[in-house]
Amino acid sequence: MSRVHDALRRAEQTGALAPGVVEPRASGRPAAAAAAIETQPPLKGLLEQIRTIPFNPSPDALVIDALNPHEAPTEEFRTLRTRLNHMQSLQPIHTTVVTSPSPAEGKSFAATNLALAEAQLAGNLTLLCDFDFRRPIVHNLFQCDRSPGITDYLQGKVQLHEAIRKVGDTNLYIMPAGEAVINPLELLNLKEVKQMLDGLPSIFNWVILDSPPLLFAADANLLSTLCHGTILVVRIGSTTIDSITRAMQSLCQNNVLGIVVNGARRGELYSKYTYYHSYYSPKDEKELDEVDGEPAAAE
């Protein structure tokens, strides 16, 4: 755990807001499984059948703004994007789980903004999937219907294209959680989940999964075994070393791509970015409100 300790210590000393993936590691996905991804038949005609919804995020969503690329959170997510894309150039990484040890540490905030950052690149089709069936939030962030979604598709109620939405004229696609179910873990154990996650990379360059916290449900542990990598989100001043230790022990450590440290002070970031972008005028320093239980990016 020395790497985790060092990462948190450096984040607190520098005040660098994650997203900043630290200590990236090689994916533990077996070579045979990675090769199987490449041989999956393409899902022909899927994109043409997906309906488009307006890009109309909730005012409280705290999503990054492509029109303000020099705002501190946007810069940090672009840095995270660059690191992940570099890792992808070295090995076949296309599906990743974004999770946290406990609730209210910023996993949905990180997953959503990482997906938006990836989708800003030309031709970089990105799919954000809400696999937190217990407490879904993606549909609220983008102000769309929760159903049909993933659970509806897994139960055979809709076809795959009906569970996905294209967001405006962007490269971002979202798959909401779907209708509420009483047995989320049993649903995730269906073979259709693996088949779907193995097939989607034939269309999307990145498939990003928002999952429940590791220490409160087994869902994220299961999903991490089905994906190429896992990103762990922790929050300065909230996440304890003990919870990080237990979360890491619950995962296959070779599958952990890195750690996103959330919750640095906005003032520290603004002073840094103002130095490089003199025309940028910082907003007020008040703490951003939490979004449906998810923490703000900064204080």
Ranges of each domain in the chain: 2-23+44-276
> For position 11, what pLDDT does the model report?
46
CB atoms within 10 A of CB 55: 16
Instruction: Report residue 62 as tokens.
Output: 């705290």
pLDDT in tens, 29-46: 444 434 433 434 457 789
pTM metric for this prediction: 0.77
> For position 41, what pLDDT does the model report?
42
- Residue 2: pLDDT band (50, 70, 90) is very low
- Residue 15: pLDDT band (50, 70, 90) is very low
pLDDT in tens, 156-208: 999 999 999 999 999 999 999 999 999 999 999 999 999 999 999 999 999 99
Residue 209 has pLDDT above 90, yes or no: yes
Burial track 58-78 (b if 16+ CB lie within 10 A, e otherwise): eeebbbbeeeeeebbbbbbbb
* Closest alpha carbon to 102 in 212, 9, 20: 212
The rounded mean pLDDT for the chain is 79
Residue 150 has pLDDT above 80, yes or no: yes
Assigned CATH topology for domain 2-23+44-276? Rossmann fold (3.40.50)
**Mean pLDDT across 75-95:** 93
